């Protein structure tokens, strides 16, 4: 099933169209808005495309916590026609990574204390909020006299754009292509039939959304049906989501669009994640001189209240404490792991209450071997990546994953389950010449324990093998250079295909 690591789309040979113009539409972008890896990916992709000479721009909501100072306000408010009336929005212009960014102001929808939910649960108008963002993208292009070759939507929040293009909501974008990237298929944008008119999907247009999942219309499904090209964030995940196990009810749609579906691995910001110059570390290091890593390990052991022991294999965990991340596997194996005697674990993260409670109690019960920081701390996250010998990611599914890439950059060997991007980026150390981590397959506590025990034995008894794998991992190119080039290729492919279709 996984023999092919990419699924390239069918299309005529793309003609070069210079300069290539792309408008990215996203609900998140660091440092302005972030709930997970989406924000990191969008910002890094934007700046990398800009560096390649693409006229790439980003539209993002201006959430209540975003300081408007430093941005230039567009003179005229933006009128956005929705099915239940016109919405008037402000627009701020600034730069992010050298590229233009536009912040859409609409206080009723975006001046809130959190992205998608409050203490009572998900906002009931989430789909209306991001439908406005997608519709505003088209209106903004008119206001700017900026006519993109491609709209690039991200996750369900950007998935209405391909549908709006195809139903002819604005005929002036008849030849504009769309690319839709799935960062996590589990989030789909469900809404009630009564909202269809407000979303500009009244009458026959509602049927363009395709199959109903969970008995309600689904924004992401509509985007997948109508996008010119579809991408997701790793080749293996692109294959997995075409199966019932990982397809979240949309596997049939994705199989039907398989020829237009590509898996493009994410990169990381190698300036932010650079062990030689990381301001969060007590001392820097690189593959040529790893002595600084040993000092980071000692500093992490001190901060975590663990015994300073260079011979203990120190394992890091930085994650959302959620079922997806396989924390139940770690919980089920934890005492056996700590009983190995030469393994220590430092965990950083917040999430599901059971997990927070379990790991707090474990840290109190085994303070010599296990430390839990139930919070998020950027400095500590960097120190854990730098000071750990191994990094645990027992995910049940992982579209791409970023922490294994950070870990490899810092000479910290990932211990991962073979799923999604983890499968694509970590080579098991049973290949002594190419291994860059440790890989297990079954989603069980026993499989995690056995693999971690094997890693600890190599660290203890075959240290040169372990250290050679660390240096190989650090030598990998995890930058955005190759992914950005791949996206540019797909944009040109989509633009050429859309022009050909509309000319027919």
SS (H, E, C) 76-135: CCEEEEECCEEEEEEEEEEEECCEEEEEEECHHHHCCCCCCEECCEECCCHHHHHHHHHH
**Number of C-alpha atoms within 13 angstroms, CB side, residue 243?**
11
Lowest mean pLDDT among 45-49, 120-124, 385-389, 486-490: 120-124
C-beta separation of 71 from 294 below 8 A: no
Burial class (CB in 10 A: 0-12, 13-18, 19+), 473: buried
Q: Would you state the pLDDT for residue 12? A: 39
Q: Would you state the pLDDT for residue 209? A: 62
Output b/e per residue, 50-68; b: 16+ Cβ within 10 A.
Answer: beeebbbbbbbbbbeebee
Beta-strand ranges (E) seen in 342-464 are: 343-348, 370-373, 390-393, 413-417, 438-440
* Between 75 and 108, the higher pLDDT residue: 108
* pLDDT band per the 50, 70, 90 thresholds, residue 19: confident
Residues 410-452: tens digit of each pLDDT? 999 999 999 999 999 999 999 999 999 999 999 999 999 999 9
Q: Would you state the pLDDT for residue 151? A: 98
Q: Would you state the pLDDT for residue 208? A: 60
Is it the case that residue 13 has pLDDT exceeding 80? Answer: no
Q: Compute the radius of gyration of the chain from its Cα atoms.
A: 23
Which residues belong to CATH 3.40.50.2000 in the chain? 21-267+481-503, 291-475
Q: Would you state the pLDDT for residue 4? A: 37
Q: Would you state the pLDDT for residue 211? A: 55
Q: What is the mean pLDDT of the chain?
A: 92
Q: Is-above-0.75 flag for pTM?
A: yes
Angle of the 378-387 helix axis to the 291-304 helix axis, nearest 10? 130
Among residues 78, 41, 48, the alpha carbon closest in space to that of 62 is found at 78
Is it the case that residue 75 has pLDDT exceeding 90? Answer: no
Is it the case that residue 137 has pLDDT exceeding 50? Answer: yes
Is it the case that residue 168 has pLDDT exceeding 90? Answer: no
Is it the case that residue 253 has pLDDT exceeding 80? Answer: yes
Q: Would you state the pLDDT for residue 199? A: 76
Among residues 425, 420, 426, the alpha carbon closest in space to that of 439 is found at 426
Q: Are strands 413-417 and 438-440 parallel, antiparallel or unpaired?
A: parallel
Is it the case that residue 213 has pLDDT exceeding 70? Answer: no
* pLDDT band per the 50, 70, 90 thresholds, residue 134: very high
* pLDDT band per the 50, 70, 90 thresholds, residue 323: very high
* pLDDT band per the 50, 70, 90 thresholds, residue 9: very low
Q: Would you state the pLDDT for residue 5? A: 37
* pLDDT band per the 50, 70, 90 thresholds, residue 18: low
* Between 331 and 500, the higher pLDDT residue: 331
Taken in order 316, 322, 325, 326, is the CA torsion positive or negative? positive
Burial class (CB in 10 A: 0-12, 13-18, 19+), 270: middle
C-beta separation of 97 from 50 below 8 A: yes
**388's tokens:** 């750990």
Give the integer Cα–Cα distance in Å for 297 and 282: 10
Kindly write down the DSSP assignment for every residue of 317-370, as one continuous string. EES-BSGGGTHHHHHHHHHHHHTTSSEEEEEE--B-HHHHHHHHHHHHH-TTTE
* pLDDT band per the 50, 70, 90 thresholds, residue 7: very low
Q: Would you state the pLDDT for residue 206? A: 62
Is it the case that residue 454 has pLDDT exceeding 80? Answer: yes
* pLDDT band per the 50, 70, 90 thresholds, residue 336: very high
The CATH fold assigned to 21-267+481-503 is: Rossmann fold (3.40.50)
In angstroms, the first-to-last Cα distance of the chain is: 36
- Decide: helix, strand or coil at residue 192: coil
Q: Would you state the pLDDT for residue 197? A: 75
* Between 101 and 19, the higher pLDDT residue: 101
Is it the case that residue 28 has pLDDT exceeding 90? Answer: yes
Give the integer Cα–Cα distance in Å for 220 and 235: 20
Is it the case that residue 318 has pLDDT exceeding 70? Answer: yes
Q: Give the CATH class of 291-475.
A: alpha beta
């Amino acid at each position: 099933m996984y023999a092919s690591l990419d699924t390239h789309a069918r299309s005529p040979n793309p003609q070069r169209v210079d300069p290539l113009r792309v408008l990215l539409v996203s609900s998140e972008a660091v440092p302005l808005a972030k709930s997970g890896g989406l924000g990191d990916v969008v910002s890094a992709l934007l700046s990398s495309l800009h560096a390649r000479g693409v006229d790439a721009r980003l539209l993002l909501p201006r959430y209540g916590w975003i300081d408007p100072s430093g941005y230039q306000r567009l003179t005229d408010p933006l009128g956005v026609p929705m099915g239940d009336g016109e919405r008037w929005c402000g627009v701020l212009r600034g730069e992010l990574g050298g590229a233009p960014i536009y912040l859409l102001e609409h206080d009723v929808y975006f001046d809130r204390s959190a992205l998608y939910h409050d203490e009572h649960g998900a906002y009931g108008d989430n789909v209306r909020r991001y439908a406005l963002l997608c519709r505003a993208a088209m209106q903004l292009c008119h206001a700017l006299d900026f006519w993109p070759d491609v709209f690039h939507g991200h996750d369900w929040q950007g998935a209405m754009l391909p549908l709006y293009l195809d139903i002819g909501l604005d005929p002036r974008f008849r030849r504009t292509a769309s690319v839709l990237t799935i960062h996590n298929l589990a989030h789909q944008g469900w809404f009630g039939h009564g909202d269809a008119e407000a979303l500009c999907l009244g009458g026959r247009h509602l049927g363009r959304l395709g199959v109903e999942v969970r008995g309600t219309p689904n924004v992401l499904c509509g985007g997948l049906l109508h996008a010119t090209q579809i991408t997701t964030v790793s080749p293996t995940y692109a294959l997995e989501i075409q199966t019932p196990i990982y397809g979240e009810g949309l596997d049939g749609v994705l199989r039907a669009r398989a020829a237009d579906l590509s898996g493009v691995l994410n990169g990381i910001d190698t300036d932010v994640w650079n062990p030689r110059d990381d301001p969060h570390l007590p001392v820097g290091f690189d593959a040529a001189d790893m002595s600084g890593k040993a000092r980071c390990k000692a500093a992490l052991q001190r901060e975590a209240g663990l015994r300073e022991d260079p011979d203990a294999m120190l394992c890091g965990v930085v994650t959302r404490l959620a079922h997806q991340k396989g924390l139940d596997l770690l919980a089920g194996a934890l005492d056996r792991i700590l009983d190995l005697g030469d393994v220590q674990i430092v965990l950083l993260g917040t999430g599901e209450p059971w997990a927070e409670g379990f790991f707090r109690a474990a840290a109190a019960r085994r303070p010599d071997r296990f430390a839990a920081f139930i919070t998020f701390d950027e400095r500590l996250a960097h120190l854990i990546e730098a000071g750990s010998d191994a990094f645990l990611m027992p995910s049940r599914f992982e579209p791409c994953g970023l922490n294994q890439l950070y870990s490899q950059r810092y000479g910290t060997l990932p211990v991962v389950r073979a799923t999604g991007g983890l499968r694509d980026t970590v080579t098991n150390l049973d290949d002594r010449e190419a291994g860059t981590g440790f890989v297990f397959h079954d989603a069980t506590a026993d499989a995690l324990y056995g693999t971690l025990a094997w890693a600890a034995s190599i660290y203890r008894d075959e240290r040169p093998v372990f250290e050679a794998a660390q240096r190989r991992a650090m030598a990998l190119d995890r930058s955005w250079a190759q992914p950005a080039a791949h996206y540019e290729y797909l944009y040109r492919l989509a633009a050429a295909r859309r022009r050909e279709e509309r000319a027919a």
